Amino acid sequence: MKGKRVLIINRGEIAIRVAKALNELGLVSVGVWTDNETEPPHLEYCQEWVHLAGSDNKDTYLNIPKIMAIIEKYKIDGVHPGYGFLSENKEFSEILAKNGITFIGPNPTAVYKMGAKDISKQIAKEAGVPVVPGSTGEVETIEEAIRIGNEIGYPILLKAVAGGGGKGMRPCQNEKEVRENFAAVQREALSSFGYGALLVEKYILNPHHIEVQILADKKGNIFHLFERECSIQRRHQKIIEEAPSPFIGNDEKVRLDICETAVKCAKAVNYDSAGTVEFIMGEDKKFYFLEMNTRIQVEHPITEEVTGVDLVANMIKAAFGEPLDFKTQDEIHLNGHAIELRICAEDPISMLPAPGKIVGFETTFPQGIRFDHCIYPKYTITPDFDPMIGKLIAKGFNREVALRKIRNAVHGLVIDGIKTNIALHKVILDEETFKKGKYSTSYIGTIKPQEKVAPKENIEAFMLKVAAIELNQMSGRS
């Protein structure tokens, strides 16, 4: 495996993370730069740089023919797709396989079967994995959606078959809302994924989003690395994750059950890489299969922190047919608690993207803090990519210690020149429901921590007033 040339067809912090793992394993890391990001920070960690011409994602990171030309020209042995872009594209993984190029991800069949929500749901059901009640396949008409809603009971969720990232999803409380939303969800699905088909599912009230990390090799061995709680979300997209789940807590029976169920699901498609099986868990701790992400996840660092397993390095080793760092499930243990905050270039109140130029960047972190990021002073955040610019991770002996560390860490992170969600994280970390670990996916909508974020202008005015008072006091003493 050593000396093989691996193309990282991604950018940002995940490209940095992959490059570090490749370099550690003795492989040659090859990064790309595009016309709308000519000095990307990940190139500093790559051993070679390649120009991926174009200024639009469709013409660069999603352009399979152009990527294949680079692979041939630069004698690439393997490709790591990171997450997003082509990471779960069956066509791309198949073309690589036909050309003898190693795709650092699962086999094309697994990508296809778990990439389509209707197919993955049926596979899970056949494997004995509990699924959310709803349609068994695509729902083509409003009348069919209403019929299913009447059978399983409202509320229901209209959901894009090819969806992801919280797009193409809308809850409906009754028949009237189904009629109002059906066409709108179809349009969003078609616009976002190029495929407008929908599913209908029972909408679980106050659910928890629990996911299980999977790691498998090419020899049929499949392991779990325990669970993560990902219930703090806005627009169905995660912003805070924890490992292990505070909701499952010390209920080892539920923990073992959901983890073994995830392995069962992965075995049903002969999985052979890193991946995540996602579940929705009700207040009664009954859980249902949601989907499987056939790639490395944004929140993989917290699993690495509590298990000591390098997921990215082992994913690379598995792809090239190398043995993993462990041989049995009994070698993998939970140790402590980890929390991750997604740092995004977005308004902390509206939670909408806020691109711009970073003019100041400082960190004063407590001991043991991990910050996976792609930023530096004078770096411009463009609207072309996801607004996430970094991931702040803290591990503690237990959740109380992890909370203390992450709270101190976020207060020690300063990013000037752009709006970020740092202020929102500070509010959430001090909020009682979150501190007690009693939150669900409805947290942002019901607790509304964003309404407690003071506008930056008010903070600056307050600090100026304090400075003026202190200056007057000093003048009075002189």
Token pair for 54? 């174009």
Marked catalytic residue, from 17, 170, 234, 295: 295
d(CA 23, CA 10): 16
The total number of residues written for the chain in this structure: 478
Token pair for 453? 């974020």
295 is catalytic: yes
Which of these, 104, 60, 86, 78, lies nearest to 7 by C-alpha position? Answer: 78
Cβ atoms of 85 and 75 closer than 8 Å: no
Residues labelled as active-site residues: 295
